[in-house]
Amino acid sequence: MIRSYKNIMPTLGKEVLIDESAVIVGDIELATDVSIWPLVAARGDVNTIRIGARTNIQDGTVLHVTRKTPTHPDGNPLVIGEDVTVGHKCMLHGCTLGDRILVGMGAIIMDGAIVEDDVFIGAGTLVPPNKTLKSGYLYMGNPMKQARLLKDSEVSFLKQSALNYVKLKNDYLEQA
């Protein structure tokens, strides 16, 4: 289920887990300790997808990008930073995420949106195109609104959540 598009194969860092039901196509780079859980679909065809170390992409999430055009020469690649938790059944399309972010279950993040480091996105949130989510805040709702500053415990949890998933991923790799 790891496939090329136009002769470009996904590249995988060390100790990466990709569930055998996931589909990973084209120009995609996964850094060390990334985990891709059941039924994820990631298509790096008309642009690129980059995922940073220790990030987890949970079950049923869809990752895609927007093509380059004369009026929009870079299109919209998808960039996800380090220690990011992407919950179940999210849709991340042509957006840029920094480090230590939690994307709640079922959230949708649209083209050109930028999520700064240390952000918590509530379950079911819709992030419209080209919005910026500021570091240190909780966002939720459809369309998303800045809800409040994160508590210290929530900021610590962002990193911890990613580490929990690295551990879980290692258990799966050991039993394979």
Give contact residues for ligand COA (rule: CB under 6 A): 87-88, 104-105, 120, 122-124, 140-141
Closer residue to ligand COA, CB minimum distance, 10 or 104: 104
Closer residue to ligand COA, CB minimum distance, 2 or 155: 155
Closest approach of ligand COA to the CB of residue 153, in Å: 11
DSSP state string for 62-85: EEE-B--BTTBTT-B-EEE-SS-E
Residue 154 near residue 139, CB atoms below 8 Å: no
Residues 20, 1: Cα–Cα separation, whole Å: 7
Residues 6+ apart with CB under 8 A from 142: 124, 125, 126
Closest approach of ligand COA to the CB of residue 5, in Å: 29
Closer residue to ligand COA, CB minimum distance, 25 or 37: 37
Amino acid at 35: S
Closest approach of ligand COA to the CB of residue 85, in Å: 6
